[in-house]
């Protein structure tokens, strides 16, 4: 009920203020498990994705977003969980495995799981090398991957922080990608890399971003 309420109210506000343009929504299957994999340029990307897609979308978020104290902490926890965030401790040594298993559970239950293969927000607006978690998920579950691109959200929230600005936003969804030809090969690192690169190639085409063949975390550290 809280998810429906949040989507109805905030979704209407976002449509009135930002008038987002959605392309290719019909490419998302109406039922069954599906992975939405796209670029990540600012914090607000997940909110647009969750509010614009007709089916409920679940994604991983830092557990610190839902562990705050007092009224503010409870409100933040309600907001993030109602928007589809599943809190996971990603800072520990097993953070990656926990995120992967969470995604698998959503897909095994026939849900929609949103993932950013870059692993973190782009530090400069370019598209960075994808991590192979998306490949592991599609090969383990058989779920198709629908690539997507967020265009303009970096103008809404420059730097990923502060009060949002009014700016046009476009969300593009590509054709579903089927990797059933690699069934049973989810431990083959060459297959995982090939699948991930194919997904990122489609994301690049949809977003129009310049591609950089290094991980975003390495670029951010540099």
Radius of gyration (C-alpha) of the chain in whole angstroms? 17
CATH number of the domain where residue 202 is located: 3.40.1130.10
Is 69 domain-assigned?
A: yes
Is 6 domain-assigned?
A: no
Q: Which domain holds residue 82?
A: 20-220
Confidence of residue 108 (pLDDT cuts 50, 70, 90): very high
Is 14 domain-assigned?
A: no
Q: What is the pTM of this model?
A: 0.90
Q: What is the model's pLDDT at position 18?
A: 84
Q: Are strands 145-151 and 112-115 parallel, antiparallel or unpaired?
A: unpaired
Q: What is the mean pLDDT of residues 17-41?
A: 95
Buried b (16+ CB within 10 A) or exposed e, 180-219: eebeebbeeeebbebbbebbbebbbebbebeebeebbeeb
Q: What is the model's pLDDT at position 11?
A: 76
Q: What is the mean pLDDT of residues 42-57?
A: 90
Is 10 domain-assigned?
A: no
Is 13 domain-assigned?
A: no
Is 167 domain-assigned?
A: yes
The total of structural domains in the chain comes to 1
Instruction: Walk across the sheet containing 112-115 and list its strands.
Output: 21-23, 170-173, 145-151, 34-38, 112-115, 57-62, 85-88
Q: What is the model's pLDDT at position 160?
A: 59
């Amino acid at each position: 009920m809280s998810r429906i309420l949040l989507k109805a109210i905030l979704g209407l506000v976002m449509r009135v203020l930002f008038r987002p343009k959605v392309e290719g929504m019909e490419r998302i299957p109406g039922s069954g498990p599906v992975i939405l994999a796209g670029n990540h340029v600012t914090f607000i990307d997940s909110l647009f994705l969750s509010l614009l897609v007709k089916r409920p979308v679940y994604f991983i978020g830092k557990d610190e977003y839902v562990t705050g104290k007092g009224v503010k902490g409870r409100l933040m926890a309600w907001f993030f969980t109602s928007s589809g965030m599943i809190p996971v401790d990603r800072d520990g040594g097993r953070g990656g495995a926990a995120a992967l298993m969470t995604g698998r559970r959503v897909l095994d239950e026939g849900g929609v799981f949103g993932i950013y293969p870059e692993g973190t927000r782009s530090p400069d607006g370019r598209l960075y090398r994808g991590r192979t978690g998306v490949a592991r998920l599609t090969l383990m579950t058989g779920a198709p991957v629908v690539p997507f691109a967020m265009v303009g959200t970096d103008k809404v929230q420059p730097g990923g922080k502060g009060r949002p600005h009014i700016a046009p936003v476009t969300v593009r969804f590509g054709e579903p990608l089927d990797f059933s030809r690699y069934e049973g090969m989810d431990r083959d690192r060459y297959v995982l890399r090939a699948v991930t690169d194919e997904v990122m190639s489609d994301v690049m085409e949809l977003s129009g971003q310049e591609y950089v063949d290094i991980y975003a975390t390495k670029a951010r550290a540099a």
